Structure formats: C-alpha cells, structure tokens
Amino acid sequence: MNLGLRISKNYNSKSYLNNNFINFAVVDLDKSKNYPANFVCLLSRIINTKKNQQSKFSSLFGDESKLIAKQLLTHALKSEADLENRKAIRDRLKLLDPKPIIHANCQVCNKPFELNKRRFKQHKMCYECYQKRIE
C-alpha cells in the first residue's frame, strides 16, 4: 500500500469556530488517483493501540499505527503550503509525541522522584520527606 494524506477543510461544520474543521484522510495511492475511490480511513486525533479504544486507523494498521501516522504527517508537513494546514499538522505531531517524565533527586534523601509540573513552585523533596517535614 502506497499511503498518502489528503487534507481538507470543512467550513460548514459547527467545529469551524473551534479550529477543528481540518480533516485528515488516509488514502491509498495505488488504488486510484481520485479521492473518493482511494479513501482508506480518517486519521484520528489520538491514536490508541488498546483494543477497547481503537479507532479505525489503529485497527487497520495495528501496532505500527503511530509510526505510520508520524511518517504521513511529516511527509505532509514538507509538501503543504497552507499555513493553517501546517499548524494543524504540527499540532497532530505534538499529540503523537508523549511528554517526557521529568525526574529529580530529593534534597533530603537524594532519591529520584517524579517531578510534578507546577505553575509557580517546583517541589524539591519527595513525597515521603515532605510528609515527615509536615509532621
């Protein structure tokens, strides 16, 4: 299968006001060159490989669905000229990459702990040392 991504804007939908009006359709370029004949499925916003929450895209491509989606989006980003489409593609690529978990060492016991991201203040102690300090 020679897959490609077709990006279309749907101005008539209610989601036009929320900037969710751009649709990403996965097409098979080996079948036909015209759009309705080569349609495979829509590229979902969030790709889950869990069996109970699978979209059509992830059920078709299985465990390789995230890799295929990333390849399709990066190829579309290189060839797309419209600024709104490029922004939507970049947003989809950010959703595919998980945020890294930040680890830090506790100042009291020097154990590594998972750092919770706060707006103003970052914790410098693990939860156990913090509880001992409060008591």
Residues 73 and 111 in one domain: no
Average pLDDT over residues 45-66: 79
Residues 30 and 13 in one domain: yes
Residues 73 and 107 in one domain: no
Share of the chain above pLDDT 90, in %: 10
pLDDT of residue 72: 92
Residues 88 and 109 in one domain: no
pLDDT of residue 121: 65
Residues 84 and 110 in one domain: no
Q: Residue 90 — pLDDT band, cuts 50, 70, 90?
A: very high
pLDDT at 6 over 80: yes
Under DSSP, the state recorded for 19 is T
Q: State the Cα–Cα distance between residues 8 and 30, nearest whole angstrom.
A: 20
Residues 39 and 92 in one domain: yes
pLDDT of residue 19: 58
Residues 91 and 26 in one domain: yes
Average pLDDT value for the chain: 82
Distances (CA, A) of 133 to 48, 128, 129: 41, 9, 6
pLDDT of residue 54: 76
Domain that holds residue 10: 3-96
Convert the pLDDT of each residue in 7-49 to its tens digit. Answer: 888 777 665 555 567 888 889 888 887 887 888 888 888 777 6
Convert the pLDDT of each residue in 105-123 to its tens digit. Answer: 888 899 988 877 665 666 7
pLDDT of residue 51: 67
Residues 41 and 58: beta-carbon distance below 8 Å? no
Residues 88 and 124 in one domain: no
The tally of domains found in the chain comes to: 2
Residues 15 and 44 in one domain: yes
